[in-house]
Structure 1
Amino acid sequence: MKPATPYGDLPTFAARLRALFDPEQGNKKCVLLYAYNGTGKTRLSMAFKDIGKQGDARDTLYFNAFTEDLFSWDNDLDGDADRKLKLNKASRFFDGLASLELDNRIRPLLQRYADFDFVIDAREDSDDWNVRFARTIAVPTENGGTRSEVLDNIKVSRGEENIFIWCFFLAIVELAIDGAEAYQWARYVYVDDPISSLDEHNAIAVANHLAKLLKREDNGLKAVVSSHHTLFFNVLWNEFGRNNKKVERLFLVKDDNAYLVRETGDTPFFHHVALLAELQKAADSGNLYTYHFNMLRAVLEKTASFHGFPGFSSCIEKDRDDPDGILHARLINVMSHGNYSLFEPTEMVPENKEYFRRILNDFRVRFPFNPELFAEEAQQANVR
């Protein structure tokens, strides 16, 4: 593994990220960046954006905490009825909102994740652009049946709000890829941790969908995606493929007064440690879902490849009543079948939870990782 490269500050590293997209210096299409919370990912995204900001000119569409701040709630504290999400009309982020029927692009994206609807009020002559939400519910009737009723002007949950803003952003990225005049200034897309307040199955779905969008053959935009979320990063890492030379995979850490950046390579060391810490945490808490078998299989397969075994089943400890490990191998095969199967999270039955814990614990005993690295990842997980 190559040694880490030190950078004195984030703007210097941001300039290096831009250089990676230069045909003469890297010719990359996408950079995947893993970093713990508190490292400075949001500040890095703003430093990247600022380099391309010359007067009124811009070149970066970005999604980060500042993007989320372009949306703010008016909860109608007086009437407690007309709740709406207000949009900052002054931002160039909303350039195409009034003329491009953006709501028709957002709606099919949102329907992947949520069951509520929305109406955008973005009239050119209005100073108050906003979004109102509605949800259709089933109401019991006197004859024992149900009827549909629409609840207007509802306040959605924080997770639902984040999903809506994320779909808003994706719709704009699609417009930029399609060459919409309002977004022809965009050359780069920078996405920083788009899954705050999302559950794990939405984290998988968001990563899968984002990768498909960025891999579109007609996509002329270059992209940086940074995250502290191991499952989200894992899905992205695998969606782009290990042999994709157009993708750079980096690990950023803060060390005293410097920022250290290391290429993760085909088998990033932190990647396995982070996944194992995530799996161990799930096993200890009992919050085990079928997609955790997918994560476990990914670790087993990469470990088997590293040690030269023909398949992941070679990394499974054999039980006395199952000397060939057939039961556990078949269980992992069945439970991890499909492409992130697991868009609809299903909790494991108690018996499978016990099998999962046994396979995981036996694996950690048989293939012990450096305990200091594992402890460091667990400590970082506790402060996220």
Structure 2
Amino acid sequence: MGKKLKDIAHLLSTPRNVKNKKTTEVEVVKQVPKVQLIYAFNGTGKTRLSREFKQLVAPKCTNDGEESPLPRDKILYYNAFTEDLFYWDNDLASDVEPKLKIQPNSYTDWLLTLLKDLGQDGNIVKYFQHYANDKLTPHFSEDFTEVTFSLERGDDEHSGSLKISKGEESNFIWSIFYTLLDQVITILNVPEPEERETNQFDQLEYVFIDDPVSSLDENHLIELAVSLAGLIKSSQSGLKFIITTHSPLFYNVLFNELNSKTCYLLERFEDGTFSLTEKQGDSNKSFSYHLYLIQTLEQAVAENQVQKYHFTLLRNLYEKTASFLGYPKWSELLPGDKQAYLNRIIQFTSHSTLSNDAVAEPTPPEKQTVNLLLNHLKKEYGFWQQVETND
């Protein structure tokens, strides 16, 4: 039976009774683990789960109607709504330089004042440049309410203010959160509260991170996962971490880097309810991502709904199969005229940089190519085929 997201949030925040392995009768309490790693396909409800979890651990009002402490006292979270706190001032008519502005509210005022007081603007720049471009430099205003960006050219010359891409913007916002998290863990690792640099985190219980990986290439994605895992492992306080992601690679790196963790698969049913299933092993062992790709492609072919992104899924499936079988290039698995098929897949999976290079929607023959290459992979490289039998 499916559950509501608030029920899932309750499961993630509550110790559980489990049977003693030796007696199988006596129930023992299993405490909330230090790290809970959750995989969910895009659109399942990860961001909504983060909001339900925040509301559960830090409700606006207590049961007796009294106002609760501020949510940030109990939980820090990063999700799509975090990025919504940043917006561009695009007053082109007045020829105003582009600025990334920060929505003024109690959370952002607290966050930016804290990071400014702790002298962390330099670390934000360092983290951002590592994942974006070491010449692309953010400049905070004196009051930390807006940011401009320039491309440093050396010899104290720079490009002037420019508007960065959406992906770079996401990296910048993540760099702010990562800098905060680094400070939180460092400060809470001091065991005596009176000896800490600040006591603003003394009541903090949870960190909820939802998909900070949307715009990174694989190399930087792996680096981010390793860095985040290292930071979490360095935490010596009772802080708990919940991480959700749709990226199998990000999930797998965290799975292998983190020792003390519990892993789950979050699924949504057609009736709008959810399940949270504990899993063992990485993405390929525990929730068979490659089988999900096959199912998605088969459904698109059957319903004649093949789109450009299905070529990306097909390429992903070929890459996973080639890696598993030890082929140096995934294109070696293609049938017949390998170069022709390779060119067709590359056409639909490469990122276009110029508007006039945009690729049109797949034609009927191109859609049929997806079906042909999918069937070839299943037939030639050992994917199990279910067949009907007569009883």
- 2:35, 2:219 → 1: CA distance? 24
Matching of residue 57 in structure 1 with residue 75 in structure 2: no
Give, in angstroms, the shift of residue 370 of structure 1: 6.0
1:150 to 158, 171, 184: 158
Give, in angstroms, the shift of residue 72 of structure 1: 1.1
1:28/1:75 Cα in 2 relative to 1: closer, same or farther (>3 Å)? same
Question: 1:271-322: per-residue Cα shift (whole Å, max 9, x none)?
Answer: 4535788999999669979xx97x5587x3xxxxxxxxxxxxxxx4xxxxxx
Show the counterpart of 2:181. 173
- 1:249, 1:39 → 2: CA distance? 17
- After TM superposition, the structure 1 = structure 2 runs for residues 120-269 of structure 1, keeping only pairs within 5 Å, are 120-123=140-143, 129-137=145-153, 149-179=157-187, 181=198, 182-218=200-236, 220-240=238-258, 244=259, 246-255=260-269, 256-266=271-281, 267-269=285-287
2:139 to 119, 122, 131: 119
SS in 1 for 2:234: coil
What do you get for the CA RMSD once the two structures are aligned?
A: 3.7
1:204/1:282 Cα in 2 relative to 1: closer, same or farther (>3 Å)? farther
- Alpha-carbon contact 1:230-1:274 (below 8 Å) kept: no
Aligned length: 300
Show the counterpart of 2:332. 355
Q: State the one-letter code of the partner of 1:249.
A: C
Which runs of 5 or more residues in structure 1 are unaligned?
A: 1-5, 139-146, 301-315, 317-328, 333-351, 373-384
Identify the range of structure 1 (16-25 vs 205-214) with the bigger mean alpha-carbon deviation: 16-25
- 2:273, 2:314 → 1: CA distance? 37
1:14 to 9, 24, 28: 9
- 1:238, 1:81 → 2: CA distance? 48
Show the counterpart of 1:377. none
- Alpha-carbon contact 2:97-2:161 (below 8 Å) kept: yes
- 1:229, 1:105 → 2: CA distance? 26
Give, in angstroms, the shift of residue 50 of structure 1: 1.1
What TM-score results when the alignment is normalised by the length of structure 1?
0.67
Show the counterpart of 2:99. 84
Give, in angstroms, the shift of residue 112 of structure 1: 1.7
- Alpha-carbon contact 1:97-1:122 (below 8 Å) kept: no
Matching of residue 106 in structure 1 with residue 83 in structure 2: no
Show the counterpart of 1:36. 41
- 1:156, 1:134 → 2: CA distance? 9
Question: 1:74-99: per-residue Cα shift (whole Å, max 9, x none)?
Answer: 12323334211111232325151331
What TM-score results when the alignment is normalised by the length of structure 2?
0.66
- Tell me which structure has the larger Cα radius of gyration: 2
> Between the two proteins, what is the percent identity of the paired residues?
32
Q: State the one-letter code of the partner of 1:251.
A: L
Q: State the one-letter code of the partner of 2:79.
A: N
Q: State the one-letter code of the partner of 1:161.
A: E
Give, in angstroms, the shift of residue 133 of structure 1: 1.1
SS in 2 for 1:36: coil
- Alpha-carbon contact 2:139-2:149 (below 8 Å) kept: yes
Give, in angstroms, the shift of residue 20 of structure 1: 5.2
Give, in angstroms, the shift of residue 168 of structure 1: 0.6
- Alpha-carbon contact 1:279-1:296 (below 8 Å) kept: no
- 2:286, 2:132 → 1: CA distance? 34
1:219/1:21 Cα in 2 relative to 1: closer, same or farther (>3 Å)? farther
Question: 1:329-349: per-residue Cα shift (whole Å, max 9, x none)?
Answer: 5x65xxxxxxxxxxxxxxxxx
Show the counterpart of 1:367. 382
- Alpha-carbon contact 1:62-1:190 (below 8 Å) kept: yes
- Alpha-carbon contact 1:177-1:220 (below 8 Å) kept: no
Identify the range of structure 1 (36-45 vs 23-32) with the bigger mean alpha-carbon deviation: 23-32
SS in 1 for 2:130: coil
Q: Greater RCO between the two (CA within 8 Å, min separation 6)?
A: 1
Q: State the one-letter code of the partner of 1:8.
A: K
- Alpha-carbon contact 2:297-2:313 (below 8 Å) kept: no
1:183/1:12 Cα in 2 relative to 1: closer, same or farther (>3 Å)? same
